[in-house]
Amino acid sequence: MRITSSWTLARLWPFVAPYRNRYLFGIAANILARSCDLVPMVIVGKAVDAITAAKDGASPGADTLVYYGLAVLLSFVLLAVFQSVSDYTLDALAQLVRHDLRVALYGHLQRQDMHFFEERQSGDLLNIVSSDVDTLENFLSDATTSTIRLIITFVGTFAVLFWIDWRLALLLMAPMPFAFAAVRTFSTSIRPRYRQARQAVGQVAGIIGNNLRGMGVIQAFTAEAEQARRVEEQSALYRDEAIGASLARARFVPVLYAVAGMAFALLIAGGGWLTLSGNGPSVGDYATFILLATRLVLPLFVFGMLINQFQRSEASAGRIWGVLSLAPAIADRPGAEPLRETPQTIAFEDVRFSYPDRDPVLKGVSFEMQRGKVVGVVGPTGAGKSTLVKLLLRHLEPQSGRIALNGRDMGGYTLASLRGRLGYVSQEAFLFTGTVAQNIRLGASESTDEQLREAARIAGALEFIEALPQGFETAIGEGGIKLSGGQRQRISLARAVLRDPDVLVLDEATSAVDTRTEEIIQENLHAFRENRMTLAVAHRLSTVRQSDLIIVMVDGVIVERGRHEELLEMNGVYAGLWSVQSGELR
């Protein structure tokens, strides 16, 4: 079922509801402001009648015009007060809602599974969280206020006009069906334009963001022209849709002018004839009528602009609700409980997994991790090693079999309590903009300086960190761009160590460091393994040589298992890999 613009924007109400009193107060102030705005025109008509009567010899009281002038002055003062109060109240409301919406959107994104982020461009998601949310803020602060003002102006003005002379009011309303038909046509034609434009600008943001992060690779491969062409092609889609929307607006505006022209032509001709013949309103009321009618022209054009803004907002809202409506593929199961006991064992029991439209990655994998022990996982590329890690972190779920923690299916524990027991180091160490200390303290913000230094020492990072210009307070740039790959890996390892996890997961955690540094790290981690489980995935066999158990995987199957010496004695896959890497022929 297609979601209409009104329904899409109406879904903002849950975010507005907490501030409903503020919202109603702003509307009430706007109603009072619009009422004060109409008062001067009514008084002008009274003044014209008073002056006309004076010329005919019926002199009004000397102070009548003074009272009229003071009433106009008071109405302007009250208009300024009520309008300022309304603008501030509704603008503040828009900022509050924008804040809540952005926080809710980001929080919802954090609950999505890793497959979601693999399928979506980060630049597009950033555009939704920033640009699309800002568009809705503008809708709340500007379009909503203008809509309220327009409705109140139309209702109030026509109420006064019918009170003055219902015949003239009907003349003024006669061309309105043409305006409504034009608005409907404009709204229908421009909606898909804005939806396509918002999608296109999101794609542009995604490509540019990705390219900026990979600019070194682009330059190294002299691919500047190719990437510039990609950006140009995607930007052209946004350009064409935006121009199409402008063309639709250009066709719409003349219709509004024509409707306004017909309305005033009928009013001047018909209303003037009724007044002149003595069968219509007085000259003063006719003057008031003309002035009030002119106040309807601007709202008519504002209405056209509001339709345009509504469609922009609807396109942004659709993208936001599209994200908020997504249910995480990996979430707490019904009845899941916090993990309170210390993990003693983790067992993979006949675990099988395959990615969509691909051959099985894991084909009945079974092994057990124990507290105080290190399990190493080796094998060629594509063997399924990284998939094991993702399953352990519950970034993925087994399609058959199970992973049992202390004998219970790991899915029976809440994600937060489970991951709170884990320390994870990936091959592609990701660092955040900030200082070295801030990156190491991620997830352990309450740690002391002594604990911070000890974690850095275990990770083999203390020496180079202390050599940095500001030591632990050195800013490392976006993604740690100011550091080498090995330095980034060691900071990432220190981050995991600082958490003092019950389960330490190392996925090629030292692949970017030199052999001597790796030996130091391995010695430190060997002592650190006490009272915790460690899973170490590696291509470099020296990384897992001291493991209590090494499993060798080929094409999603464990083909060998044992300690280093035992595997060498088997003279199988592991022994062959060791011969190649160490240079020892067997």
Contact 533, 504 (CB under 8 A): yes
Identity of residue 20? R
CB count within 10 Å of CB 401 equals 17
Same domain, 419 and 306: no
Please state, rounded to an integer, the average pLDDT across all residues of the chain.
81
Residue 348: exposure state from Cβ atoms within 10 A (0-12, 13-18, ≥19): buried
426: left (phi over 0), alpha (psi -120 to 50) or beta: beta
**Comparing C-alpha atoms, which of 351, 385, 350 is closest to residue 555?**
385
Same domain, 143 and 213: yes
Q: How far apart are CA 91 and CA 23, in angstroms?
A: 10
Range of the domain at 194: 5-324
Cα-flanking dihedrals φ and ψ of residue 477, to 5°?
A: 80, 170
Domain CATH code at residue 31:
1.20.1560.10
Establish if 331 belongs to a structural domain. no
Same domain, 68 and 200: yes
Alpha-carbon distances, residue 264 vs 53, 172, 179, 329 (angstroms): 27, 7, 14, 60
Structure tokens at 550: 């090494």
Choosing from 324, 357, 381, the residue where a domain stops is 324
Identity of residue 110? Q
List helix spans (H) across 459-550: 462-466, 485-498, 515-528
Which residues share a beta bridge with 533?
503
> pLDDT band at residue 338, thresholds of 50, 70 and 90?
very high
Same domain, 10 and 137: yes
Choosing from 273, 293, 324, the residue where a domain stops is 324
3-class DSSP state of 374: strand
Establish if 377 belongs to a structural domain. yes
Tell me the mean pLDDT in the region 139-159.
75
Instruction: Tell how far CA 136 is from the center of its chain.
Output: 12
Contact 474, 468 (CB under 8 A): yes
Q: How far apart are CA 503 and CA 423, in angstroms?
A: 6
Per-residue pLDDT tens for 354-410?
A: 988 788 899 999 999 999 999 999 988 888 888 999 999 898 899 999 999 999 999
Tell me the mean pLDDT in the region 487-493.
87
3-class DSSP state of 174: coil
Same domain, 364 and 313: no
Count of domains in the chain? 2
> pLDDT band at residue 4, thresholds of 50, 70 and 90?
very low
Q: How far apart are CA 22 and CA 86, in angstroms?
A: 10
Establish if 296 belongs to a structural domain. yes
Same domain, 298 and 413: no
Same domain, 408 and 443: yes
Structure tokens at 526: 């060997």
Q: How far apart are CA 211 and CA 379, in angstroms?
A: 32
Query: Biggest alpha carbon distance in the chain?
Result: 128
Domain CATH code at residue 398:
3.40.50.300
Contact 473, 437 (CB under 8 A): yes
Number of DSSP helices (H) and strands (E) in the chain, helices first = 23, 10
Establish if 463 belongs to a structural domain. yes
Same domain, 305 and 378: no
Alpha-carbon distances, residue 487 vs 319, 358, 467, 493 (angstroms): 39, 35, 12, 10
Contact 346, 405 (CB under 8 A): yes
Cα-flanking dihedrals φ and ψ of residue 538, to 5°?
A: -155, 150
Which residues share a beta bridge with 378?
552
Same domain, 320 and 381: no
Same domain, 411 and 313: no
| pLDDT (0 to 100) of residue 308 | 67
Most confident of 401-415, 505-519, 523-537: 401-415
Establish if 144 belongs to a structural domain. yes
Q: How far apart are CA 239 and CA 203, in angstroms?
A: 13
**Residues 6+ positions from 99 with CB-CB distance below 8 Å:** none
Establish if 268 belongs to a structural domain. yes
Which residues share a beta bridge with 353?
362
Choosing from 295, 324, 353, the residue where a domain stops is 324
Task: Calculate Rg over the CA atoms of the chain.
Answer: 36
- Would you give the DSSP letter of residue 399? S
| pLDDT (0 to 100) of residue 552 | 93
Per-residue pLDDT tens for 215-245?
A: 766 776 677 888 888 888 878 887 887 777 7
Establish if 128 belongs to a structural domain. yes
Where b means 16+ CB within 10 Å and e means fewer, 217-238 reads: eeeeeeeeeebeebeeebbebb
Establish if 159 belongs to a structural domain. yes
Per-residue pLDDT tens for 417-460?
A: 998 898 888 877 778 888 999 989 988 888 899 999 999 998 88
Same domain, 264 and 356: no
Per-residue pLDDT tens for 85-115?
A: 988 898 888 889 889 988 888 888 888 877 7
Which residues share a beta bridge with 368?
347
Same domain, 461 and 313: no
pTM here is 0.69
Per-residue pLDDT tens for 290-311?
A: 777 777 666 666 666 677 677 7
- End-to-end, the C-alpha distance of the chain in Å comes to 68
| pLDDT (0 to 100) of residue 303 | 67
Instruction: Tell how far CA 180 is from the center of its chain.
Output: 35
Give the up-direction half-sphere exposure of residue 365: CA atoms within 13 A in the CB hemisphere.
33
